[in-house]
Homo-oligomer: A and B are copies of this chain.
Amino acid sequence: MRTWTRILGIDPGFRTTGYGIVDSNGQESRHVASGAIRATKADTPNGRLGIIFAEVAVLMEIHAPQELAVERVFVHRNADSALKLGQARAAAICACLTFDIPVFEYAAREVKQAIAGKGSAGKDQVEHMVKILLSYSDALQSDESDALGIALCHAHTRTVTRQYTEAMQ
């Protein structure tokens, strides 16, 4: 019998950070929770970091995911937004580090490839496939859908890696 793993996917952003939690046994995945952490304009930059850090810590406490999957960011059009995005991303990761769970990174192209079969797939396609893979019919916000996609990408990839490792033994 396959064991289930709870995965937290995070799509970091300075204004909105999407999160999606799924349980996966390597063959099927189930939706546990998803949503978006919003930092209002009134917050200071460090206040935003604090909100992301605290909210992700709450998710860790409530749902106790065993692994974190987060979008890898290579380049950015603008140095100032790259700095802000880097800070948001680190705040989310650090909140998970306090719970000592492993962190995995996936490039946006990898996520799209894993979910929609094409690295250049659009947001609508990813959302459509996320809903099918999770048998989820409610509306999803964009950041929420992306975060679930990252979690599902990891659910798929970790299975492939484990199968490969087992075959080599």
Contacts and interface: CB of A to CB of B under 8 A. Distances in A.
A78 B90 CA distance: 18
Interface residues of A, number: 31
A93 interface: yes
**Copies of this chain per assembly:** 2
A78 B82 CA distance: 9
Contact of A94 (B74, B78, B82, B94): B94
A89 interface: yes
A23 B95 CA distance: 29
Contacts of A80: 74-76, 82
Contact of A49 (B45, B83, B85, B90): B90
Interface stretch (A97-105, A150-158, A160-168): A97-105
Contact of A86 (B46, B54, B75, B82): B82
Contacts of A33: none
A82 B93 CA distance: 17
A11 to B, nearest CB: 15
Contacts of A75: 79-80
A94 B46 CA distance: 9
Interface in A55-93: 73-80, 82-91, 93
Which of A79, A91, A103 is packed against the most chain B CB atoms within 10 Å? A79
Interface of A: 45-46, 49-50, 53-54, 73-80, 82-91, 93-95, 97-98, 103, 105
Cβ-closest 7 pairs across A and B? A86-B86, A90-B90, A87-B90, A83-B86, A82-B83, A94-B94, A79-B82
